[in-house]
Amino acid sequence: MTLALPASSSLGRSERGRAWLGASAKRALGLLVGIWIFSGGFVIFEPSPYEVTFLLAFAVALAGGLQLRRETLPLLLIVVAFTPFALIAPFFTLYQDVLDGLIFNLVTIFLLITSYFAANFVAQAPHAHMRLIANAYVGIALITSAVGTLAYMGLLPGEEVLLRFGRAKAFFNDPNVYGPFLILPAMFALQRVLLGTGRSSLWNGIAYLVIFIGVFVSFSRGAWGHLAASSLLVFALVFFLEASAREKVRLLLIAIGGLMLLAAAMAVLLSIPVVSDLFTQRFSLTQSYDTGELGRFGRIWYTIDVALSHPWGIGPLEYGYLRVTEQPHNTYLNVALTYGWGGALVYYLLVGSTLAAGAKALVRQSNRPLLIPVFATFVPMIALSAIIDTDHWRHWFLVTGLVWGVCAASRHATGQRRELP
C-alpha cells in the first residue's frame, strides 16, 4: 500500500528547496566574487585564475544567486550589439589565423560579460557588495605592491620573474598593466582616509602609501598620471560634494600632510641611484618610440587612414603586419581596426553611456560615496585609453561594471546615511 502526499505538501517542500538553494547560492556567490576580485592580481599566465573563478561565480549566479536588474539592461544590449561585429571581424584577417582572431575577440566578449555581471552584483546590495569588492581589491593590491616593490629593490629571490625592463610588474606580464591595476584600490584607501576617522584613516593612509610606491616602481607614465588625476578627482569630489564646512578644514590639513609624506617617500626613493636614473629616463612626455612618422603619436594618422578604409575592420592583431610592427597604442582607433566600424561605435557608446550615467548619479546624494572612487578611476582611465591599448584590461571592464552597478542602485536608493565601500 502506498501513501500519496497531498499536493500542497509536495509544493511546499519544493518551494522550501528552491528557497534553500537560492539562499545557499547567494552566500556562495559572495565568497566566489571575493575570490574572483582577489585573483585579479595573478595574471602572469593565461587563462588566469581571474577567468576560472569568474566562471565559477557566474555558474552560481545562474543557479539563483544573482538577480538581474532592469536598470542594467542597456549594458546587456551593448554586449549583445557588440557580439556580431566581434565574431565577424576575424574573417577579414590576412596574416593571422582566423581561429586566433576569434579567440581574441571572444575574450573581449567575455570581459564585457564580466562588466554586466559586476553591475548586477553591485546593484543587488550596493553597500555590502561594494565593501566586499573593495576589501578584496585593496588586499590583493597591497600584496602585489609589496611584492613589486621588494622585487624591484632586489630583496626577493628570483626577482627577475617579477620585473620587466627593470620595472616592477609583480604577477602581471606588463608594468603598464600592473600600474593602472592598482589605481582603484588606491582610491578606495584614499577616500577612507578623507572620510574615515581614527585608526581607519591611519591604516588606509598606510595602504595608500604602499600602493603609491607600488605604482611608482612600475615606472609606467600612464599609471603615474592616472594615480595623480584620480587622487585629485577623489579629493575634489569628496571636498565639494560630501564634506561639511568643518570636514573641509580637516581635509585640507590631511591633503597638506599627505603631500608632505609622499614627497618624503619620493625623496627617499630618488636617493637610490638606480631609481633616480630610471625615473629621469621615464619622467618625460615622450620617449624615443613615441616620436617619428611611425612612432606612438606619429602613426595615429596612418591608423585612421587604415580604419577608414576597412569598414569591417582588418581583424585582431593584424595591425602589426602592416607598415608598423607595434599595435596602435590607442584603444579608440584599435577597436575600429579590430571590430570594424560597427563594433567601434558600440564601444564608444559603452564609454559615453558609462561616463554620462556616472556623472548623472553623482548629483544624487544616495550611494555617492560608493561611486566617487570608482568614477574617479574611470574618467582618467578613458583618457589613458587614447595612448595605450586597454581593450583587454580586466580591471577596465570591472571598473565599468562597478559604475553601472552603483548607478543602477542609486536610482531607487532613498537613504542619506554615508557609507564607504
Least Cα distance to 144 among 115, 111, 186 occurs for 186
Q: Quick one: 255 and 200 in the same domain?
A: yes
pLDDT at 24 over 80: no
Q: Quick one: 177 and 317 in the same domain?
A: no
Task: Provide the pLDDT for residue 415.
Answer: 53
Question: How far apart (Å, rounded) are the C-alpha atoms in residues 96 and 381?
Answer: 29
Residues 6+ apart with CB under 8 A from 124: 66, 67, 69
| Grid coordinates of 243 | 564634506
19 is a domain residue: no
Q: Quick one: 146 and 281 in the same domain?
A: yes
pLDDT at 13 over 50: yes
The tally of CA atoms less than 13 A away on the side-chain side of residue 19 is: 6
Range of lowest pLDDT (36-40, 159-163, 210-214): 159-163
Other C-beta atoms lying within 10 Å of the C-beta of residue 213:
21
Q: Using one digit for the tens of pLDDT, what is the confidence trace for 255-275?
A: 999 999 999 988 888 888 878
Q: Average pLDDT in the 131-160 region?
A: 94
Task: Provide the pLDDT for residue 17.
Answer: 59
CA 356 to chain centre: 18
Q: Quick one: 378 and 309 in the same domain?
A: yes
Least Cα distance to 338 among 89, 81, 142 occurs for 89
Q: Quick one: 119 and 139 in the same domain?
A: no
pLDDT at 115 over 80: yes
Domain encompassing residue 379:
48-59+69-124+293-421
80 is a domain residue: yes
382 is a domain residue: yes
Task: Provide the pLDDT for residue 136.
Answer: 98
Task: Provide the pLDDT for residue 329.
Answer: 83
Least Cα distance to 354 among 116, 22, 148, 143 occurs for 116
Q: Using one digit for the tens of pLDDT, what is the confidence trace for 328-383?
A: 789 999 999 999 999 999 999 999 999 999 999 998 877 899 999 999 999 999 99
Q: Average pLDDT in the 382-409 region?
A: 95
Range of lowest pLDDT (103-107, 237-241, 314-318, 319-323): 319-323
Other C-beta atoms lying within 10 Å of the C-beta of residue 217:
27
Q: Average pLDDT in the 117-125 region?
A: 95
Task: Provide the pLDDT for residue 44.
Answer: 86
Name the more confident of 33 and 410: 33
pLDDT at 16 over 70: no
369 is a domain residue: yes
Q: Quick one: 279 and 189 in the same domain?
A: yes
Q: Average pLDDT in the 203-226 region?
A: 95
Total tally of structural domains belonging to the chain: 2
337 is a domain residue: yes
Residues 6+ apart with CB under 8 A from 211: 141, 142, 145, 182, 185, 186, 189
Q: Using one digit for the tens of pLDDT, what is the confidence trace for 286-311?
A: 555 555 555 666 678 888 888 899 99
Q: Quick one: 327 and 407 in the same domain?
A: yes
Domain boundary among 268, 285, 302: 285
Q: Quick one: 115 and 188 in the same domain?
A: no
- CB contact burial 323-346 (16+ within 10 A = b; e otherwise): ebeebbbbbbbbbbbbbbbbbbbb
378 is a domain residue: yes
Q: Quick one: 137 and 275 in the same domain?
A: yes
| Grid coordinates of 421 | 565601500
Task: Provide the pLDDT for residue 7.
Answer: 52
Using only C-alpha atoms, the chain has a radius of gyration, in whole angstroms, of 23
Contact 140, 186 (CB under 8 A): no
Other C-beta atoms lying within 10 Å of the C-beta of residue 199:
8
6 is a domain residue: no
Least Cα distance to 237 among 359, 351, 383 occurs for 359
Q: Average pLDDT in the 4-22 region?
A: 59
Q: Quick one: 334 and 360 in the same domain?
A: yes
pLDDT at 64 over 90: no
Residue count of the chain, please give it: 421
Question: How far apart (Å, rounded) are the C-alpha atoms in residues 289 and 296?
Answer: 6
Q: Quick one: 89 and 147 in the same domain?
A: no
Domain boundary among 285, 313, 341: 285
Task: Provide the pLDDT for residue 1.
Answer: 45
Name the more confident of 206 and 68: 206
Task: Provide the pLDDT for residue 50.
Answer: 96
Domain boundary among 243, 267, 285: 285
Residue whose grid cell is 500519496: 4
Q: Using one digit for the tens of pLDDT, what is the confidence trace for 101-113?
A: 999 999 999 999 9
245 is a domain residue: yes
Report whether the peptide linkage leading into residue 47 is cis, meaning its omega lies within 30 degrees of zero. Answer: yes
Q: Quick one: 246 and 310 in the same domain?
A: no
pTM of the model: 0.91
Mean pLDDT of the chain: 88
pLDDT at 2 over 50: no
Q: Average pLDDT in the 231-253 region?
A: 93
